[in-house]
Every structure is written in structure tokens, then in C-alpha cells.
Amino acid sequence: MLIAGNWKMYKGPAETAEFCLGLREEELDGVDVVVCPPFVSLAVAVQLLAGTEIAVAAQNVHWEDEGPYTGEISAPMLRELGVYGAIVGHSERRQHFGETDETVAMRANAALEAGLFVIACIGETEEERERGETEAVLRRQVSVLEPDDNVVIAYEPVWAIGTGKTATPETAQEAHAFVKTLLEAPVLYGGSVKPDNAAELLAQPDVDGALVGGASLDLDSFTSICRAAAPIPS
């Protein structure tokens, strides 16, 4: 099980330091934990989580190693900082920043080549689901990704992100099982995962973890989701 916290545009270096110092003190055995702070907070997260099992990943990465790409950050730069992975293709990037399946693929490939792990986000909008296009959309979004041991998919139905409208465990399971027929990779669920719905989502056979937005910003709520993913000690 993998639980990743996508902090989006929240927590500068000071708040990141506070969160990471708290996170260090938590017992989180039996679950892989990743935090994804904004770029400016990556260095402090890497520094404060060094020597723990908790990995730090970026929220995006460019496809070139360097060049005239104002405002972008490359995979080798992230590696130099001690960052382990990157999210690519988040729906907010697709929606607000013109991200396409092609640019998502380029970003994913560059990250993998540089030795980063990739959390590649896919998911249908509400209209697409209502039109019965969910599988076609997921197929299109997955088709550009290369199978790789370092790729994790995050199924995040756009209608469930930040809305409090979580997919039912059955809906998530159905989508995850379908995604696994397209690409062999662990599949995280994302979209309004909270401490009180995490356990039933994570209990689905094809739900391999969660990508958590809002509920990852608070230490107690994030760690209780991490604990819901850990095997019950016998």
C-alpha cells in the first residue's frame, strides 16, 4: 500500500518543516508514505525526512533536462535535490495549464529516465462519466504511458477531487480493475479520500493505495489515512 499526500499549492518551507518534524515522530509501519510539497518546499522536506522511510516527490516535472522553459523544473534538478519521484498529469494541470496526454507522456518518460518514480494521474470528468465515456477516457490516458516498474497510476475521477464526492468503493474498484487490464501497475485512488472513508476504499482488491489532497495537509488526518492502509498487527 502506498499513501501519497499531494499538497497542491499549500505549505511554504516553514509549514513544511513543521509538518515533516511531526511526521518523523509517527509510527507508520507497513505502508509506503510519500509527501508531495510545492517546489519551493521540496528541499526542506528532503532534509527533514532524510533517514526515514518517507519519500518526497514533486507535483510536476519537465521533459527536458534544461533549456529555455521559464518556470519549469527538470528531473535531474529534482534528483540533485534528493527528490525520489514526481506526479504527472494531475487533472488540475490538464484543466488549468494545458497539459495533454502527449505532454504527460513526455514528462513521465523524462522522470523515469532520470531515475524518479512517477505517479501518473488519470480520470474522467463528470460529463464524460455521464456520457458513458469513462473507459474510453481512461484507455486514452493510459495508452501514452510506457509500462515501467517505477510507474504508479492514480485514478482520480475529476468529479471527486476536492468536492467531498468520493467514488463509492465499488465504482473505484471497477475503474481500477479496468485500468489494470490496460497497464500492469499499482493503482492508487484519489478524490476526497478522508480518514473516515479510507479504509473501505483501500479494502477493495485493486485499490493499491491513495493519492490524498485536502486531507493530507493536516498531520492527524494524513497519518490516520496512512494507518488505515497498514496491515492490522496480529
Q: Of 44 and 214, which has the nearer Cβ to ligand PGA?
A: 214
Q: Of 35 and 77, which has the nearer Cβ to ligand PGA?
A: 35
d(C-alpha 168, C-alpha 152), whole Å: 21
d(C-alpha 58, C-alpha 78), whole Å: 8
Shortest distance in whole angstroms from residue 22 CB to ligand PGA = 20
The label of the residue with cell 476504499 reads 201
Q: Which residue is nearest to ligand PGA (CB)?
A: 213
User: Residue 187: which of 200, 174, 197, 196 has the closest Cα?
Assistant: 174
Shortest distance in whole angstroms from residue 94 CB to ligand PGA = 11
d(C-alpha 209, C-alpha 126), whole Å: 23
* Catalytic member of 92, 99, 128, 156: 156
* Catalytic member of 90, 92, 99, 124: 90
Shortest distance in whole angstroms from residue 172 CB to ligand PGA = 13
Identify whether the C-beta of residue 7 lies closer than 8 Å to the C-beta of residue 34. Answer: no
The label of the residue with cell 492527524 reads 220
Shortest distance in whole angstroms from residue 156 CB to ligand PGA = 6
Q: Of 7 and 63, which has the nearer Cβ to ligand PGA?
A: 7
**Residues in Cβ contact with 19 at an 8 Å cutoff, skipping those fewer than 6 apart:** 11, 35, 219
62 a catalytic residue: no
Q: Of 74 and 166, which has the nearer Cβ to ligand PGA?
A: 166
Interacting residue ranges for ligand PGA, rule: CB under 6 A: 6, 156, 161-162, 190-193, 211-215
Catalytic residues: 90, 156
